[in-house]
Amino acid sequence: MTSPLRLDPLVLPQAAREMRERVREFLDAAEADGLFRRGGSSMGAGSHRPEFSRRCGEAGLIGMTWRKEMGGHGLSFLERYVVTEEMLAAGAPVRAHWVADRQSGPLLIRYGQPAVRDQVLPAIVRGECYFCIGMSEPDSGSDLFSLRSTARRADGGWSVNGRKLWTSNAHCSHYMIALLRTSPPEKDNRRHGLTQFLVDMDSPGITVRPVRNLTGGHDFNEVIFDDVLVPAEHVIGEVDEAWKQATSELAYERSGPERFLETIYLLFALVEAAGADPDPRVADGIGRLVAELATLREMSMSVAGMLEAGAVPNVEAALVKDLGTNWEQALPARVRDLLPGHLGELALTGVNGGKHGAGQRTDLEAMLGYATLIAPKLTIQGGTREILRGIIARGLGLR
């Protein structure tokens, strides 16, 4: 029996390997210029750095896979993959341009109106235009079929009312890609009646309220729409038929290395702290973590290869996201489990750029504390594990 699930091994081509060297040089220069410091999270506090995003734009590291006639650079998904991997491994502050580059720009290229594309895409490529995604709602969570926020036809376009919740970076985004209900669902098709819109976040009638996380950081937001007028040309794709577009967009969001590298700085710190001759228990734990990470990476690269070939690997992307976010969510506890009885000794061996003594131990403990507090969100963002496992089961013919 042939499985519908495909995760074929992939060898990075020469162009991707050359791109890796290029982006490493870029990161070295950016760090030398004081734009960031290695060792942190690309998505954590302080990772919204417009100046770094503009530098990425100048270097041609945004819109890499977009067609040149759309303002992009016509490169491969695998070249973009290694850029993503290197950025995250270094803890580069990519949050400002991340969503626009990864998923909103490609969605507009495929479904947006020409006038909108001409206006928005060049600013994204320059690293000067930032996006958020309006999907989840207070009473819906990951059940997007139950969305209640509406868009109704009005003079000059559409009138939007309702609320979105857990909207990452809405407070510092120029646009939202909003999934809104434009018609009731049909009896035999719950997917009917949803439409995507490009919403200018400076529009009258929009209120953004912060939803602070456990660290006190302001990542998430509640966004309230009160008779917000959205121009007709800001409809993305077909009215009432957005579900297929939204799921295609999620394939980009769910499958990349960002789904297992958000807490990777802890593994780097653990390896450095363990030194050249680690305790056998610590060595065993590091070996298991690295083996699991290598497996996730191979799976993620396989999905990148499918995207490069023009496929829409929704099931494979859901699998990578489910396994990857569970791994990165568990990483703080697993690192902490390896440290009791050894923390005082390990913290003196060189973690965090060769610092020594109590300050170094504080750095490692601070990393663990921060990662532990942000870990619960990792399996929620981009789709909860329950939703993902339903997608996987359906794709395998199990439901």
Task: Per-residue pLDDT tens, the chain, 399 aa: give them.
Answer: 456 788 889 999 999 999 999 999 999 999 999 999 998 777 776 789 999 999 999 999 999 999 999 999 999 989 999 999 999 999 999 999 999 999 899 999 999 999 999 999 999 999 999 999 999 899 876 677 789 999 999 999 999 999 999 899 999 999 999 999 999 988 888 789 999 999 999 999 999 999 987 778 888 899 999 999 999 999 999 999 998 776 666 666 677 898 899 899 999 989 988 888 888 999 999 999 999 999 999 999 999 898 888 887 888 999 999 999 999 999 999 999 998 655 544 444 444 444 434 445 557 788 888 899 889 888 887 778 888 899 899 888 887
CATH of residue 35: 1.10.540.10
Beta-sheet pairing, 157-164 with 206-211: unpaired
Residues 124 and 143 in one domain: no
Residue numbers of the domain that contains 33 = 14-129
Quote the pTM value. 0.86
Domain assignment present for residue 248? The answer is no
Domain assignment present for residue 8? The answer is no
Residues 123 and 139 in one domain: no
What's at 82, amino acid-wise?
Answer: V
What's at 293, amino acid-wise?
Answer: L
Domain assignment present for residue 3? The answer is no
Residues 183 and 310 in one domain: no
Q: Which of 325, 300, 328 is nearest to 384 (CA)?
A: 325
Residues 191 and 265 in one domain: no
How many domains does the chain contain in total? 3
Residues 113 and 139 in one domain: no
Residues 109 and 72 in one domain: yes
Q: Decide if 185 contacts 178 (C-beta within 8 A).
A: no
Count of CB atoms situated within 10 Å of the CB of 119:
15
Domain assignment present for residue 182? The answer is yes
CATH of residue 144: 2.40.110.10
Domain assignment present for residue 75? The answer is yes
Domain assignment present for residue 4? The answer is no
Residues 142 and 178 in one domain: yes
- Looking at 215, 241, 267, the residue that finishes a domain is 241
Q: Which two tokens stand for residue 161?
A: 């009312």
Count of CB atoms situated within 10 Å of the CB of 64:
21
Residues 264 and 380 in one domain: yes
Domain assignment present for residue 2? The answer is no
Q: Which residues contact 161 (CB under 8 A, 6 or more apart)?
A: 149, 150, 152, 225, 226, 227, 228
Residues 228 and 214 in one domain: yes
Q: Decide if 261 contacts 89 (C-beta within 8 A).
A: yes
CA 54 to centroid of chain Cα atoms: 19
- Looking at 105, 129, 153, the residue that finishes a domain is 129
- Looking at 84, 107, 129, the residue that finishes a domain is 129
Domain assignment present for residue 261? The answer is yes
CATH of residue 323: 1.20.140.10
Residues 26 and 114 in one domain: yes
Please tell me the distance from the alpha carbon of residue 7 to that of residue 363, in angstroms, as a whole number. Answer: 38
Residues 108 and 150 in one domain: no
Please tell me the distance from the alpha carbon of residue 215 to that of residue 198, in angstroms, as a whole number. Answer: 31
Residues 165 and 235 in one domain: yes
